[in-house]
Structure 1
Amino acid sequence: MSALAYYWAKFAWRRAARFEATSYRRVLLPHPYALDLPGVGATSTLIKAHDPTTGRSVGVVHDRARGYMTITTLLAPGGSLMAPTGTVHSSLRTWSSVLDAMSTDDQIKGASVTIQITPGAGEALGDDVKARKDPRAPQLAKRVIDDLVRTTPHATASVAPWMSVTVDPNASANPPADLAEQVAEALRVVDSLDLSGTGTDIERRCTDVDLRRLVRAAYDPAVFNARDSDFAELSWSECGPQAADDGWEEYAHDGGVSISWVLREMPRRPIAYSVLLPLLAPGRFQRRITLAYRVLDPHEGEAVLEREISNAYNRAQATAEVKGRAKWSQKADAQRAEQAAAQVAGGAQVVDWTLMVTVTARSTADLPAARQELERAIKATRGIRMRPAFGAQAAVFAAGLPLGYNPLVRD
């Protein structure tokens, strides 16, 4: 982030704060949209649809301003750390095929994968072990399990992964005539994405109750384990905060205070597939890790790489004229750009992506500890450089939720 961009963002945020545009209070006002979700979620609305293929209801988030629709899929929490290397490589190749399918479909505007880790107090682990314990098991095995439950009371966590795909149903050759046909078209496009073989198991499409739970529990973590009946009657606007204040480096809302960080720089070296493991490890505070994608079409991807090559050579030439030789990092940038261009010429796709992390503390007093925990997790990745989302805390917070907002999706 350049100094000019930083101070310009600081000026824009202070101007918005002066006009109280960074504060939200859910009160009844004589305005038609006074009770909408705040910020980037203001144009979204929730539609309860019926999926004829599964016979279940599906929640579809509709962006009323742009006409886009976002469908979220709940994934089964799992991993590939214990899998053979060949299986991991096969999963990566299959995932690249999924991204390739996104680039050739004009209706898919972007996608994001989010993993939410909510720490538990240990009761869930004890209850699960108690229910599954075999009374005929050997005494030694029982003692080992009991000692494990007793000595790790804070090591449990609830993991909730999901994938959101943003679709423009009107980008087809025959645009849908009404809202019902638009929902059906969006469901058809998302169903065409085959995630089998990517190492991810699909649990089900998010229902309207699932979406309400994910959004409401993000603003108020205390209700994360509430019953489905507590969310069934909530309106979409009631899933948002009752009050919120968007600060320069923090976002205060109903049940706590959140801090969000964004990707500062792409890794300049090959990284292992387990690089995100420190971020995904349970901690004291609720954490949400979001990878947002926008696959560029072949022509746009080729143009981007040509600009990267030209810029890399221009920077190296300018440095050589001043200092006598170019920096080694500039030469490496040019080599990487040429390598990427060669891969695109061989059929690969260019993906615009970013990484966002949000940590939520229950009180302002816990905010320093939450920030320290996040900083340690990022440093432990040893390859990913991130920074606070200066002046955009509320937007990054919402980008990790199934609200239909993806910062990489353009109009």
Structure 2
Amino acid sequence: MSAGTRNYGNWRRPSTKGLLGLGWLSTALLFAALIATFLTVAIAGLLAGLAAMGVSAIAAGLVVTKNADHVSIIERVWERIMWAKTKATKRNVYRSGPLAATGWGRTQAPGVAAPLRLSEHVDSLGRPFALIYSPPGGLHTLVIETEPDGAALVDDEQIDQWVGSWGWWLSHLAGEPGLVGASVTVETAPDTGGRLGREVAANISGDAPQFARQVLADTVENYPAGSSVVRAYLALTFVSSTKKADRVGRELASRLPELTGTLASTGAGVAAPLDAARLCEVIRTAYDPAVASLIDEARMAGDHVPLEFSDVGPTAAEASWDSYRHDDATSRTWVMTGAPHGLISARGLEKAPRPSARHRAQARHFDV
């Protein structure tokens, strides 16, 4: 490591306002147990009070004792109970489509995504952007798509500048009116070769020699094999006093160009909001990765993919304790529950979302 490499550290877990590192609810329950113990002593005597104290101590131990992932015993037990209930009632199984028992005949997204509604608007630069509305919380979410430049053959000084700009961009979000949440999803997937084929077909000259045409054709056929494509999606969620999507869209239309323009200095590459059609393709591909090649083939043929938001979900899905099976893919989630010990460089965590060669050949990866 060179002397000029910048390091990052001083990681701190957000502290809670409760007692002994507990949340406010656990703290309230602990005080309630103590009060119940004192009342038992005053009403039923010392022996009954000692018994109540023992029960309270056991309950407090279940709440306070946590594993390496900072999850208490009572939380793990409750999670198992709820999972057993879900499996017993078959709520972990989803079937959709014209022949399914759901009744509506569409393949809409399951679970918490079922009530979502989609609308499309235009920002001040004339770019269409999709807006997802969640009726339960009154939330509106827009998604920005980027293609990160990557850190290969890039100087450490440039990477440090990207990290600093990314930190500034995140801090700038704190001043966005109505913003309540932001998330980044990095997608690493096998390259279908459709993008390269479309680029070559759009730029090849009609007077090009036959040899040049043959070289380009061989490149389009063989180059994408084994390669991957990396995209990043930034989801910004806003809360508004109105449920009218048109009004929220007009409010965000003037702010969206600055949000996408300032991302260029973070190494995110060209950033643009997802329109409704593109967002539907992204969600549908996440549920069924095999659709990606079909979408690319349709684009190469100049055809429009008639995909609606009510048809982006899986035809079949089943949740297990450690995985989620949907159509011809399986999803698993790995969560980092502890920060690195000591100092790390900007490249310290880049291996975490990087798929292996075996993964690139078999599946798409959505790393949050």
What is the TM-score of this pair, normalised by structure 2? 0.64
Q: Is the 8 A contact 1:209 1:231 kept in 2?
A: no
2:85 paired with 1:85: no
Deviation at 1:44, TM superposition (A): 1.2
2:80 paired with 1:10: yes
Q: Is the 8 A contact 1:125 1:156 kept in 2?
A: no
Determine helix, strand or coil for the equivalent of 1:195.
helix
2:362 paired with 1:285: yes
**Length, aligned pairs only:** 278
Deviation at 1:83, TM superposition (A): 2.2
1:217-249, Cα deviation, whole Å (9 max, x unpaired):
111111113136877533312101112111111
Structure 1 7/202 Cα, relative in aligned 2: closer, same or farther at 3 Å? Answer: same
- Give the whole-Å Cα distance in 1 for the aligned partners of 2:122 and 2:200: 37
- Give the whole-Å Cα distance in 2 for the aligned partners of 1:121 and 1:96: 33
Deviation at 1:191, TM superposition (A): 3.8
Report the more deviating stretch, 161-170 or 2-11. Answer: 2-11
Which amino acid counterpart does residue 122 of structure 2 have in structure 1? H
The aligned residue for residue 314 of structure 2 is 241
The aligned residue for residue 72 of structure 1 is 143
Q: Is the 8 A contact 1:212 1:231 kept in 2?
A: no
Structure 1 54/124 Cα, relative in aligned 2: closer, same or farther at 3 Å? Answer: closer
2:236 paired with 1:165: yes
Structure 1 75/127 Cα, relative in aligned 2: closer, same or farther at 3 Å? Answer: closer
1:295-329, Cα deviation, whole Å (9 max, x unpaired):
xxxxxxxxxxxxxxxxxxxxxxxxxxxxxxxxxxx
The aligned residue for residue 350 of structure 2 is 276
Aligned with residue 213 of structure 1, among 281, 290, 293 = 281
- Give the whole-Å Cα distance in 2 for the aligned partners of 1:230 and 1:245: 33
- Give the whole-Å Cα distance in 1 for the aligned partners of 2:269 and 2:282: 19
The aligned residue for residue 133 of structure 2 is 62
Deviation at 1:163, TM superposition (A): 1.4
Structure 1 266/285 Cα, relative in aligned 2: closer, same or farther at 3 Å? Answer: farther
Deviation at 1:29, TM superposition (A): 4.3
Structure 1 109/202 Cα, relative in aligned 2: closer, same or farther at 3 Å? Answer: farther
Deviation at 1:85, TM superposition (A): 2.1
- Give the whole-Å Cα distance in 2 for the aligned partners of 1:230 and 1:18: 45
The aligned residue for residue 171 of structure 2 is 100
Deviation at 1:103, TM superposition (A): 2.1
1:110-259 correspondence runs (5 A): 110-120=181-191, 154-170=225-241, 178-193=244-259, 194-225=262-293, 226=295, 227=298, 232-259=305-332
- Give the whole-Å Cα distance in 2 for the aligned partners of 1:205 and 1:58: 5
Determine helix, strand or coil for the equivalent of 1:266.
coil
The aligned residue for residue 116 of structure 2 is 44
Determine helix, strand or coil for the equivalent of 1:284.
helix
Which amino acid counterpart does residue 94 of structure 1 have in structure 2? S
Deviation at 1:66, TM superposition (A): 1.2
- Give the whole-Å Cα distance in 1 for the aligned partners of 2:303 and 2:80: 40
% same residue: 23
Aligned with residue 335 of structure 2, among 262, 265, 270 = 262
Deviation at 1:264, TM superposition (A): 2.6
Unaligned runs of 5+ in 2: 1-68
Structure 1 245/29 Cα, relative in aligned 2: closer, same or farther at 3 Å? Answer: closer
Structure 1 14/177 Cα, relative in aligned 2: closer, same or farther at 3 Å? Answer: closer
Which amino acid counterpart does residue 217 of structure 1 have in structure 2? T
Deviation at 1:255, TM superposition (A): 2.3
Structure 1 214/34 Cα, relative in aligned 2: closer, same or farther at 3 Å? Answer: closer
- Give the whole-Å Cα distance in 1 for the aligned partners of 2:320 and 2:331: 10
Which amino acid counterpart does residue 8 of structure 1 have in structure 2? W
1:271-296, Cα deviation, whole Å (9 max, x unpaired):
23222245334522334344xxxxxx
Structure 1 125/277 Cα, relative in aligned 2: closer, same or farther at 3 Å? Answer: farther
Report the more deviating stretch, 85-94 or 183-192. Answer: 183-192
Which amino acid counterpart does residue 235 of structure 2 have in structure 1? S
Structure 1 89/135 Cα, relative in aligned 2: closer, same or farther at 3 Å? Answer: farther
Which amino acid counterpart does residue 186 of structure 1 have in structure 2? L
Kindly indicate which of the two structures has a greater share of residues assigned to strand.
Answer: 1
Deviation at 1:158, TM superposition (A): 2.7
- Give the whole-Å Cα distance in 1 for the aligned partners of 2:117 and 2:177: 23
Which amino acid counterpart does residue 328 of structure 2 have in structure 1? G
The aligned residue for residue 314 of structure 1 is none
Q: Is the 8 A contact 1:118 1:285 kept in 2?
A: no
Q: Is the 8 A contact 2:107 2:312 kept in 1?
A: no
Determine helix, strand or coil for the equivalent of 2:353.
helix
- Give the whole-Å Cα distance in 1 for the aligned partners of 2:190 and 2:72: 37
